[in-house]
Amino acid sequence: MTLTDRPVPDEGTNRLKAIGFALGGIALFGLLDMQAKYLGSRYPVSEVVWARYAGHFLLMLVVLAPRHGRALIRTKRFGLQMTRSILLLLSTAFFFTAVSLLPLAEAAAIGFVSPLLLVLLSIPMLGEKVGWRRMTAVVVGFSGVLLILRPGGSLFTWAALLPLATAVSYSLYQILTRKIASTENPIASLFYTSLVGAAVTTLVIPFVFVMPAWEHLPMFASLGVLGGLGHFLMIKALNGAPASVLAPFSYSAMIWSLGFGYLVFGNFPDPLALAGIGVIVASGIYVAYRESVLIRARRKSLRG
């Protein structure tokens, strides 16, 4: 069979593959979060963050540098690349600290208000108009956070601010990523996040480094691999389907957080916390649905 004889995958096939890539990447991130919680309770969190970014950076040098060369660092928006990379580093540091102090599922769920914050931030930063449906979903989603934390409950401590800080940092990172998406190579954007994260944490590591036990070395070594492969699969996913199609599947991460939290750490949310998690997930999925509807409407109007 010649190349011209090969069947061309239709749009539905491409989307199914993209969803598969997304689900695979999310599973790797779930495993990464579990290992970060395990190691973060035994070693300085900054050391765990360093291992995650240093490993990711080395993986990119080995796998991508021979193929892409200088394209990895070619950018027209150097300042924005630096800023978004620092924001992603802060998001990682906040979240790794959060999971070292809080149950995995609850920390992950609170962090999932990021898409809701993105809706709010898109108004002043991207000039987007947000209708009453999405705004209502945002308000409902934040009520889910209150169900999880319950003022006066055991989780209502300063540590609960960390996943919220994660969500704010990650939302700002996504805003800047949107701003540079039309002009920047996504592989270069991925490289800058690993480069900046590795460089900043390497400056810190001499002051906090604790020699890992032999049995923990494989986990430290795998952090960067899991992060790098996870991001690679997400890029593959976005090449095959729009972000609006993939967004609802990101909430499959809660399955991993609940499962690892129970099986590895013996933690499982109580009924009210589960209800709060459900509210946040449902609100996020509805926001993704509304955005997909608006995107289709804009495309239809442009076609006349």
For the beta carbon of residue 38, count every other beta carbon within 10 angstroms: 19
User: Which of 117, 129, 131, 134 is CA-nearest to residue 287?
Assistant: 134
Residue 130 lies in a domain: yes
Residue 1 lies in a domain: no
Residue 8 lies in a domain: no
Residue 2 lies in a domain: no
Query: In this predicted model, what pLDDT tens digit does every residue of 270-297 receive, in sequence order?
Result: 998 999 999 999 998 888 888 777 777 7
Residue 284 lies in a domain: yes
Rounded CA-CA distance 228/231 in Å is 5
Query: In this predicted model, what pLDDT tens digit does every residue of 22-45 receive, in sequence order?
Result: 999 999 999 999 999 999 999 999
Range of the domain at 272: 15-303
Residue 194 lies in a domain: yes
Query: In this predicted model, what pLDDT tens digit does every residue of 83-141 receive, in sequence order?
Result: 999 999 999 999 999 999 999 999 999 988 888 888 888 888 777 777 888 889 888 98
Residue 238 lies in a domain: yes
Structural domains counted in the chain: 1
Which of 95 and 178 is assigned the larger pLDDT? 95
The answer to whether residues 40 and 208 touch, using CB atoms and an 8 Å cutoff, is no
Rounded CA-CA distance 93/248 in Å is 25
- Average the pLDDT over each of 9-13, 190-194, 205-209, 271-275 and give the range with the smallest value: 9-13
Residue in the block written with tokens 């810190």: 204
Residue 9 lies in a domain: no
